[in-house]
Structure 1
Amino acid sequence: MARAALTRVIEPGDERAGRWLRIHGAAELMRLLTTPEDPDAPLTGVSAARLAGYRRRAAAADPERDLAALDDLGGRFVCPGDPEWPGQLDDLGDARPVGLWLRGPADLRIWALRSVAVVGARACTPYGAHMGATLGAGLAEKGWVVVSGAAAGVDGAAHRGTLAASGATIAVLASGVDVVYPRGHAELIGRIAQQGLIVSELAPGDHPTPSRFVLRNRVIAALTRGTVVVEAEYRSGSLATARNAQRLGRHTIGVPGPATSGLSAGVHELLRGEATLVTDAAEIVELVGEMGELAPVRRGPVLPRDLLGPATTHVLDALPGHGTAPTSDIARHAGTSTERALGRLYELHSLGFVERDGDGWRLTPAARRPPGTRRGGA
C-alpha cells in the first residue's frame, strides 16, 4: 500500500527519493513524509521547498482509490520482491521504479526474460514504419516479446507488426495505464491490454509530460535484452533509450537508413560507436539470443561458373570474347598443355559454356553474356 502511495509522490527516475526508499523502506518513508516535520528527520539532501513538495503529494495520495480504479480495469500493482517483478529492473539502482501498474493477462517477469525493445522516431518515414512492423513481426515469429512505448511512428508500427503475427508485445507508457496517449492509438493500446501487457510507473489517471517520456525509456531499456533503434534524429528519445541500454550493459542495435536522411542521422551516430548494425529479426536474435541462434549466411546467387574448378576456369577465361580459337592457342593462354586444355574444353562443352567450330572452339551465346544479365538487354 505504501509503494502504491509513493508512485503519487516520487517522480520516475528520482534517485534521491529512491535512496530514501532503499534506506528506510516504503512504509517508513510514507510515515516520515506524512507526520509533522521533525528537525532531526533523516530525509536529507534536498531543499526545504522540494521536501515540502514531497510532503504535499504524500498527504494527497490515496492508494486505496488508485488500487480500486486499477481493479476496475482488471489490472494489478506489482512491487520489488513480488513473483511477477522483473529482477533486471533492479539494475537501475536507486532509479528503479517504486512499483509498476499493469494491465493485461501475461506475466511481466516471464515475458521480459525473452524481450527486445524496438523504438524509433514518432515522425518516421514510410521506410521506418515498414522496418518497425517487419522487425516486430519477425521477432514475434521467432518467439520473442517486443517492447516499445506505444508512441506514434516506429513504436506503433512495431506493436502492430507483432500483433499481426499473433505475437507478444509490451507497451511501457509515460502516463497511467488508463490514459490513452496519443489519442489515435486508443484501439492499439486496447488490443495490447487484451493480448499483451500495458506497463507504467505512474498511478492511474496520471498524464504524460516531456520529462516522463524520457524517463520512461530507462524502463524499456532495463526490461529487455537489447534495444533496436530504427529511425532517430540526433536529438531523440529513442537515442536516450539506446544510451540507457549501453549503460546497463544491454545490446544496442541500429537499423541503417539513407545517409541523406536526417531521421537516420542519430542511428548512424550510434552505429559509428558501440551499436551493432542489423537488417532483420534473425540478426537481432543472433545478438540477444542463446548460443547457436545464428542468422543465416547471406550471399549472392550461385552462378554456373562458380561451380567450375580453377583449372577449368582458366581454360574458359582463355577463350576469346568473340570468334574462334584453336586448342593450342587456348592452352597457351591458359598456361597448360594442349591435352589438358582439350579435356577441360570438352568438360565446358558438356556444361554448355563452349561449342566446337571446325578445328577451334568458341563461347556459346549464354557464356558471352555478363553474369546476371538477361537475353535482349541488361
Structure 2
Amino acid sequence: MRAPVHVPADPAAASFDLSAFRRALTDRTAAAVRALRERIGSETLYAFALYTDAESGYASVRASANTEEGLARAATARAADDPRFRGEAGRRLLRWSAADWDFHDFDAGVREVALPDPAGRRESLDRAILTAMVGALRSVDRAGLFGRGADRAFLTVNVLCPHPSRAFFVRNLRALNPVPTVERHLRETDAAPLVRAVNRAPRRERMRIWLALYEDLYMEWKTPIAEEARARGMSPWDVEAELVKFGPKVVPKLLDLLAHYGFAPPFDSARELETREVWLAGSALFLVRRIGAVPEGQIHRMQTLVAAFVERDRRLKIASTLAENTARVLHELRPRRFPESVMDPQTYKLLNPEPFLPRRR
C-alpha cells in the first residue's frame, strides 16, 4: 500500500506547498486513469472527475468515473424499484450523478492525497486548491491519458462535488474540455429546449404546465417533467421567471396555491425547517408581490386569507409566517390603504391583524 502523501493541515500555514499537492495529485490521477483503462476493458468511458466535498472548503479529493455500460447497469438496477429510471430517462437522471457511478471513488492512491483542514481556511487558498485540481487534470490530459481526437472529444473531464451548481459545473467543464465536448454537453443539459417546448403550447395550457412544474419542483415530486427539468438544471426560480410573464392573469392561480398549502403544518421536525408546503405557499405569495398589478378582487381574497391564517395561528404556539407575510405584501401592493405589518419575533404571529381583515358589510 502506498504511503499517504502528506500536506500540512494548517490552512493558514505558509508551509502548505500547493505545488507539491498538485504534483502528487497529478501523479496519482495519472496512475488511476491507467488502472481504470485496464479495468473497464472495452467499455466506453464517458466521464472522469476529481470529486470533492463541496464547491468550497475542500477537505478531500476522490477519483470518480463512469462508462456508458455502467450507466445503463445503474439505471436498470434503479428501475426495478422506481420506474423513473427506465430507459433513456433513467440514464439522463444518473449520467452526471457521480455518487451513482460504477467507478465512484475507485482509486485509493488519489484518496490518500491529503488536503488541509478547511476550518478557517482563507478563500484564496480554497481557490488555489481548486486551481491545483484543475491543473492536475490538465496535465493528465496533455499526457494523452484521456485519449486523443474523437476518443478525447467523447470523454468529459470535470471537477465535481455533491449537487454542484450549474455555474460550478460549467466553469470547470469549459476549463478542462475541448470546445466540441463543451458544446455537446451544454446542448444536452440546456434548459432552453424544455422552455421552448412548453412555450409552444397555447397560452392557457402553457400557464397550466408552468404552474404544475412550479408545484412539482417545490414539493420535490418526481414527475416526468420535473425530472427532465432537474436534469437540465432548472430550479423553481427559473419557473418563477416564466410565470411572471403571464402578469395579473396568473395571480388567482398563485393565490390558489397559497390557500391550498398555506394551512399545512408550519414546521418539519425531522428537517428542523418550514415544511415544503409552507415554502411553496410563501413563494407563491411573494411571486404575487413581484407581479405587482393585482386586481382588487384578489386583494380582497388575500385579506380573507389573512383572517383565516390569524384564526389558525391562535391555536398554535409557534406559527408560520404566512399571516404576517400576506399582510406585508398587502402593504407593499396598497401602501396608502394598509399599514406596515408587525410580527412577534418569538411566535411569528401577526400582531396587528385588524387593518388587514376584510371589512364587514
- TM-score bucket (shorter structure): under 0.3
Structure with more helix by fraction: 2
- When normalised by structure 2's length, the TM-score is 0.25
Q: Which has the greater radius of gyration?
A: 1
Higher strand share: 1
